[in-house]
């Protein structure tokens, strides 16, 4: 049995979709549904059982059924970079993950967990994952969320006992189906599509940094289907345990992303930037904190036997827009 925590969230539910696609349904889903529409992410899924995250740890260490677990994919966390309650973040993102690590270590089973590219902070030290624990420790996150993720990464490397195989995945800018419950935290593809359909235009921030044109801020956008292909590989193949960047290794601009979204939505290529993009001033309070460049260094994953094609920005956005966002049923 495979456990997926955060199973109704964007990446967690996409992992369950991928497992179903590969003929696997012996899956325990762990999450909290609350009042959000996350339940729609798992409506079409086939799985063994569901469990509330608040009772999962007690069950895990007490029930005989837990002996059937072969791997835990831990995507459950508070992922809002704007969350200000540090105690909540440390309990949710740090302490809970420690408990799962200890269980997997005791049972010698596989553990895949969500770290975050937010651990890199402003990127002054680059975005390299082929580094020592000491170099990872020197990273300076910009918010409490990033710190809660970094704190666990640092703790993991100090442990003498560890799961049979483990990986902490530093996701960059993930976009794709299953993000509809995230509101303002959903990807720019989702928001660009909505804006274009409603107004015929998309708003992007002007640049306030020399060397970057308006809309030229760069991010490593990675399609959720590629993310779960990598996670499935890590569940089924042997590889070196450690921290892995999960991106494309190719930074692209918000203007590229917005234009790819618009062209996919319109079904045509002959669209001019001036006709569909409106550049607006960046809020004053963001100007000193805004990242203008992130790009995952992907050598570590490249050194494994994982060699599947990853979607280009245009390929991923086209699939997302035309096969999901434009459809009555937008879910995997």
Catalytically annotated residue among 98, 182, 201, 203: 182
Q: What is the residue-wise DSSP string for 64-92? A: GGGGG--EEEE--S---TT---HHHHIII
Three-state SS for 101?
helix
For the question of residue 103 being annotated catalytic, the response is: no
Measured in whole angstroms, the distance separating CA 274 from the mean position of its chain's CA atoms is 32
Query: What is the residue whose two structure tokens read 């890590």?
Result: 234
Catalytically annotated residue among 103, 113, 127, 145: 145
For the question of residue 182 being annotated catalytic, the response is: yes
Indicate the helix (H) or strand (E) that contains 31: strand 27-31
Burial 302-313 (b: 16+ CB within 10 A, else e): eeeeeeeebbeb
Query: What is the residue whose two structure tokens read 């549904």?
Result: 33
The answer for residues whose C-beta is within 8 angstroms of residue 158's C-beta and 6 or more apart is: 133
As beta bridge partners, residue 252 has: 219
Tokens coding 194: 């909505």
Q: Hey, which residues are catalytic here?
A: 145, 182
């Amino acid at each position: 049995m495979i456990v997926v925590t955060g199973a109704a969230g964007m990446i967690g539910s996409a992992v369950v979709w991928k497992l179903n696609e590969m003929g696997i349904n012996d899956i325990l889903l762990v999450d909290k549904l609350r009042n959000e529409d996350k339940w729609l992410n798992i409506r079409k899924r086939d799985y063994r059982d569901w469990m509330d995250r608040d009772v999962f740890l007690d069950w895990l260490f007490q029930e005989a059924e837990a002996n059937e677990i072969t791997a835990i994919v831990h995507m459950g966390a508070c992922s809002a970079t704007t969350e200000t309650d540090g105690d909540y973040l440390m309990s949710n993102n740090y302490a809970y993950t420690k408990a799962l690590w200890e269980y997997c270590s005791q049972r010698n089973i596989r553990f895949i967990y969500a770290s975050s590219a937010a651990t890199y902070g402003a990127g002054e030290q680059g975005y390299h994952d082929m580094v020592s624990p000491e170099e990872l420790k020197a990273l300076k996150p910009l918010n409490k969320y990033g710190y809660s993720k970094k704190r666990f990464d640092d703790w993991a490397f100090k442990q003498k006992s560890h799961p049979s195989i483990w990986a902490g995945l530093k996701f960059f800018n993930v976009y794709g189906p299953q993000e509809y419950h995230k509101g303002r935290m959903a990807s720019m593809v989702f928001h660009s599509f909505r804006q274009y359909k409603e107004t015929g235009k998309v708003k992007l921030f002007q640049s306030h940094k020399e060397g970057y044109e308006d809309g030229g801020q760069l991010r490593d956008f990675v399609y959720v289907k590629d993310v779960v292909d990598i996670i499935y590989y890590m569940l089924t193949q042997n590889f070196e345990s450690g921290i892995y960047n999960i991106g494309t290794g190719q930074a692209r601009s918000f203007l590229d992303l917005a234009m790819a979204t618009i062209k996919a939505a319109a079904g045509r290529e002959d669209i001019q930037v001036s006709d569909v993009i409106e550049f607006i001033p960046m809020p004053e309070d963001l100007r000193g904190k805004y990242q203008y460049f992130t790009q995952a260094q992907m050598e570590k994953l490249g050194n494994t036997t994982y060699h599947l094609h990853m979607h280009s920005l245009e390929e991923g956005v086209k699939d997302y827009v035309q096969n999901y966002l434009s459809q009555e049923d937008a879910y995997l």
